Structure 1
Amino acid sequence: MPHYSDTGGSVESNGQRLARLRARRRWTQQRLATEAGYSLAAVRAYEQGRRSLDRPQIVLAFAKALDCHPTEITGGPYVPVSSDTEGQSAVAAVAAVRRALLRHGRPARPEEHEAAVVDLAELRRRVTEANGFRQAAALAKSGAVLPALLRDLQVACEVTEGDQRREAFGLLTSGYECAMQYLYKLGHTSDATLATERVVWSARETGDPLRVLAAHWYDAGEFLSIGEHDEAGAIIDDALTDLGALRERRPEAVSLRGAFHLKAALNSARAADAQAAESHWAKAKEAAEELGEDRNDFQLQFGPTNVAIWGVSLPVELGKGRVAVDRADKLRLPQKFSSERRSHYFIDVGRAYFYNGQREQALGAFLKAERLAPQATRMHAGVRETVGTMIRTQKRGELVELGIRLGVV
Structure 2
Amino acid sequence: MAYFSDSHEGDSNGQRLARLRMRRRWTQQRLATEAGFSLAAIKAFEQGRRALDRPATILPLCRALGCHPTEITGGPIIPPQADRDGQTAVAAVASVRRALLRHGRPTRADDAEVAAVDVPELRVRAAAANADRHGARLAQAGETLPALLRDLQVAAEVTAGSERCDVYGLLATAYECAMQYLYKLGHVSDATLATERVLWSAEATGDPLRVLAARWYDAGEFLSIGEHDEAGAIIDEALADLTRRQDVSPEAVSLRGAFELKAALNHARASEKAAAERHWRRATKSADLLGEDRDDWHLQFGPTNVAIWGVSLPVELGQGRVAVERARDVKLPDSYSRERRSHHFIDVGRAHFYNGQRDAALGAFLQAERLAPQATRMHAGVRETVGTMIRTQKRGQLVELGIRLGVV
TM range (shorter): over 0.9
Letter in 2 for 1:291: L
Letter in 1 for 2:108: R
Deviation, 1:117, is 1.5
Separation in 2 of the partners of 1:393 and 1:36? 26
2:286 is matched with 287
Separation in 2 of the partners of 1:30 and 1:283? 41
Secondary structure at the aligned position of 1:11 is classed as: coil
1:63-120 deviation per Cα after TM superposition (whole angstroms, max 9, x unaligned) = 0110000000000111000110010011110000000000001011111111112110
1:330-387 deviation per Cα after TM superposition (whole angstroms, max 9, x unaligned) = 2121111100000000000000000000000000000000000001000000000000
2:261 is matched with 262
Separation in 2 of the partners of 1:322 and 1:343? 20
> Is the 2:77–2:185 contact (alpha carbons within 8 Å) kept by the matching residues of 1?
yes
1:274-313 deviation per Cα after TM superposition (whole angstroms, max 9, x unaligned) = 0000000000001001111000000001101110100000
Separation in 1 of the partners of 2:386 and 2:110? 50
1:5 is matched with none
Separation in 1 of the partners of 2:88 and 2:312? 30
2:301 is matched with 302
Deviation, 1:11, is 2.1
1:374-408 deviation per Cα after TM superposition (whole angstroms, max 9, x unaligned) = 01000000000000000000001000000000000
Secondary structure at the aligned position of 1:311 is classed as: helix
Letter in 2 for 1:12: D
Q: Structure 1's 368 and 120: CA in aligned 2 closer, same or farther, altered over 3 A?
A: same
> Is the 2:9–2:406 contact (alpha carbons within 8 Å) kept by the matching residues of 1?
no
RMSD: 0.6
Letter in 1 for 2:106: P
Letter in 2 for 1:161: A
Deviation, 1:220, is 0.2
1:6 is matched with none
Separation in 1 of the partners of 2:339 and 2:142? 16
Separation in 2 of the partners of 1:85 and 1:331? 33
Letter in 2 for 1:110: A
Secondary structure at the aligned position of 1:77 is classed as: coil
> Is the 2:96–2:142 contact (alpha carbons within 8 Å) kept by the matching residues of 1?
yes
1:219 is matched with 218
Range with bigger deviation, 10-19 or 199-208:
10-19
Secondary structure at the aligned position of 2:205 is classed as: coil
Separation in 2 of the partners of 1:377 and 1:256? 27
The residue correspondences of 1:354-365 to structure 2 (distance < 5 A) are 354-365=353-364
1:107 is matched with 106
Deviation, 1:10, is 5.3
2:25 is matched with 26
Letter in 1 for 2:78: V
Q: Does 1:116 align with 2:119?
A: no
1:4 is matched with none
Instruction: List runs of 5+ in structure 1 lacking aligned partners.
Output: 1-8
1:82 is matched with 81
> Is the 2:32–2:42 contact (alpha carbons within 8 Å) kept by the matching residues of 1?
yes
Separation in 1 of the partners of 2:10 and 2:169? 42
2:72 is matched with 73
Separation in 1 of the partners of 2:226 and 2:66? 11
Secondary structure at the aligned position of 1:330 is classed as: coil
1:146 is matched with 145
1:193-226 deviation per Cα after TM superposition (whole angstroms, max 9, x unaligned) = 0000000011000000000000000000000000
Separation in 2 of the partners of 1:356 and 1:142? 36
Secondary structure at the aligned position of 1:205 is classed as: helix
Separation in 2 of the partners of 1:108 and 1:378? 36
Letter in 1 for 2:117: V
Letter in 1 for 2:291: G
Separation in 1 of the partners of 2:151 and 2:332? 37
4+ residue stretches of structure 1 with deviation over 2 A? none
Separation in 2 of the partners of 1:163 and 1:309? 37
TM-score if structure 1 supplies the norm length? 0.97
Instruction: Calculate percent identity across the aligned residue pairs.
Output: 73
Aligned length: 401
Deviation, 1:247, is 1.4
Letter in 1 for 2:221: E
Letter in 2 for 1:295: R
Separation in 2 of the partners of 1:75 and 1:116? 45
Q: Does 1:13 align with 2:12?
A: yes
TM-score if structure 2 supplies the norm length? 0.98
